[in-house]
Chain A
């Protein structure tokens, strides 16, 4: 099976602290990790290869330092990694990113399964992988919590989708694109051998020229939306501490909640 794993690099929100707010964290040079949701992407892709043979290619669009995320992917066990990076691609919105990823997927060539994550924690659009499926015209199964069966021979997949109010079992033909949720597996840690191998691996970098994309069709200029980010307004702490024993405090609290009309 030829499997492509879509992996984004994102800021490492575990580093948030009093001195490291969202803006500092996101700024150039800030601490980066594999998008936490894409650890499940990678684990899903690697397990599928372990079961059915073939090859996993991790594909990441991002700045040059996003190669680090691909090193992690290689250390976890993907066979190949490709970084799509070009200064012209900076600040692409999700649809423009999807177009670029589709151009890279076409260059990779044959695939049976593409795996993406539910969302990336930075932009949190939950859109890019969905848009890749739409542009490629391959069947999409999103929010996958369990792969019931994957049958490369009969070219079918059956998967359980985790929705707000239900678990839905869906079948589709292959090739298909699936997005996965946390429930699907427990991502492995990179092995020592993996880390050593990844350190030596060279990761090809594809830019606009390699993908035959005109620079005017990518990046902020080609995007359908513009955005500015700022810190959320923090509200002054104004907690009312309710004193007294359980019965008194319960009475006061219920009074307050009724005044607030929330119960």
Chain B
């Protein structure tokens, strides 16, 4: 049975989140096999450009709701609106990025519509007309293969930085369907009083390059060479829990089971042993480099390149070399 696909395009201030285009790419990969149309859903205040971009990366149709009450993402108005759109649709597959908002919205609407849900997927395929979603479980120590049952809608979200977004094709055209907001402002139970955006630092979960420090950096000052290499590479700064617990660096930087799960192109671990809980957050990075004065730590099991030496002598040399070669 053909199944239409809907992709929620997460945006903020008229700027789409990169994970939305990754979700769009994931949908596009399977749309052919599922044999349905590819639709985008864009909610916000002043999102005409985002809707046009959605067409350029493959949407045949874009459902747009442009309303001040939708300016900043809130789960209730977004969820009610999405389920209203889906009400009149035949059973469809709804995809989004597994961001904080996407995980929440997909769960909420799946409850409103009684639909099955596969969150945070790392692979999608169609086998014999059946959608199969792959997702890590037990913090990366198990892999779970999910199939959907029944005949209703199906929801899934895709993990960041797994699916390669398509290049926009400016000549593509698509239909734009305007939808009215479902809840009036005074029917929305939550109010956003203030928003404090994190400083200019690259967010860990979106970074293509992460340089992390662990207990081996020895103290708060020990993060200096780690930070300098991250800056030289234009990457983000990560940390092991040991370094966070010691109070050397804020929790926001923690990678691992009780921190962030990241999947950058390059992960450089400095003075980190590679405990299972740290690996859980980073072992799927495309290229892993371990710098550790011990030549036999568990991280080498996963690393592609290793340097057995003192991070304080190697990191500055690497940062220098990077600046020289990349002209920074």
Chain A residues packing against B (C-beta within 8 Å): 11, 13, 16, 21-23, 25-26, 36, 93-95, 98, 121-128, 130-131, 133-135, 139-143, 158, 163-173, 176, 182-183, 223-232, 235, 237-242, 246-247, 249-251, 253-254, 256-258, 260, 262-263
Interface residues of B (CB under 8 A from A): 12, 75-76, 79, 99-101, 103-104, 106-112, 114-120, 135-150, 152, 154, 189-198, 203, 205-206, 208-209, 233, 251, 257-258, 265-266, 276-277, 286-287, 289-290, 295, 300-309, 313-314, 316-318, 320-322, 325-326
Known interface pairs A227-B147, A251-B321, A263-B266; 5 further A-B residue pairs with C-beta atoms within 8 A, sorted by A's residue number: A182-B258, A226-B147, A230-B143, A249-B309, A263-B209
Q: In the complex, are the beta carbons of B142 and A230 less than 8 A apart? A: yes
| B78 CB to nearest A CB, Å | 12
CA A237 – CA B305 in complex, angstroms? Answer: 11
Q: Give Cα distance in the complex from A22 to B190, angstroms.
A: 40
Alpha-carbon distance between A125 and B196 when the two chains are bound, in angstroms:
27
Secondary structure class of chain A's binding surface, majority of residues: mixed
Q: Do the beta carbons of B306 and A229 come within 8 Å of each other? A: no
CB atoms of B257 and A127 under 8 A apart: no
| B251:A226 contact, CB within 8 angstroms | no
Contact for B108 among A36, A140, A227, CB less than 8 A: A140
Cα A226 to Cα B130 in complex, Å, equals 12
Q: Flag if A22 contacts B142 (CB, 8 Å).
A: yes
Complex: A93 Cα to B152 Cα, angstroms: 15
CA distance A11 to B316 in the complex (A): 42
Distance of A18 from chain B, by nearest CB (Å):
10
Contacts of A251 in B (CB 8 A): 321
Residue of chain A at shortest CB distance from B301: A237
Nearest A-chain residue to B264, judged by Cβ: A262
Tell whether A254 pairs with B266 under 8 Å between CB atoms, given A95-B114, A165-B198, A241-B295: no
Given contacts A134-B112, A164-B203, A262-B286, contact A124 B76 (CB under 8 A): no
**With A140-B75, A262-B209: A131-B110 Cβ-Cβ less than 8 Å:** yes
| 30 cross-chain CB contacts under 8 A | A25-B141, A95-B111, A121-B138, A121-B257, A125-B107, A130-B107, A134-B111, A140-B75, A164-B99, A164-B100, A170-B190, A176-B189, A182-B251, A227-B147, A229-B138, A229-B142, A229-B143, A229-B144, A235-B302, A239-B290, A239-B303, A239-B304, A241-B295, A241-B308, A242-B307, A253-B307, A256-B305, A260-B286, A260-B287, A260-B304
Is the beta-carbon distance between B138 and A11 smaller than 8 angstroms?
A: yes
Q: Are A134 and B139 touching (Cβ within 8 A)?
A: no
Q: How far is the CA of A168 from the CA of B148 in the complex (A)?
A: 35
Residue among A16, A158, A224, A260 making CB contact with B276, cutoff 8 Å: A16
Contact A262 B287 (CB under 8 A): yes
Q: Point out the residues of chain B lying under 8 angstroms from A95, CB to CB.
A: 110-111, 114-117
Min CB distance B172 to A, Å, is 28
The answer on a CB contact under 8 Å between B195 and A167 is yes
Query: Is the Cβ of A169 less than 8 Å from the Cβ of B266?
Result: no
Contact between A22 and B141, CB atoms less than 8 A apart: yes
B110 adjacent to A250 (CB under 8 Å): no
Could you tell me the distance between the alpha carbons of A262 and B268 in the complex, rounded to whole angstroms?
12
Q: How far is B205's CA from A139's CA once the two chains are assembled, in angstroms? A: 28
- Asked if B300 and A166 make an inter-chain contact with CB atoms under 8 angstroms apart, the answer reads no
Distance in angstroms between the alpha carbons of A142 and B74 in the assembled complex? 10
Residues of A contacting B106 with CB < 8 Å? 127
CA distance A143 to B306 in the complex (A): 37
User: A241 near B307 (CB under 8 angstroms)?
Assistant: yes
Give the shortest distance, in Å, between A131 (CB) and chain B (any CB): 4
Q: Are B104 and A130 in contact (CB under 8 A)?
A: yes
A6 to chain B, nearest CB (A): 14
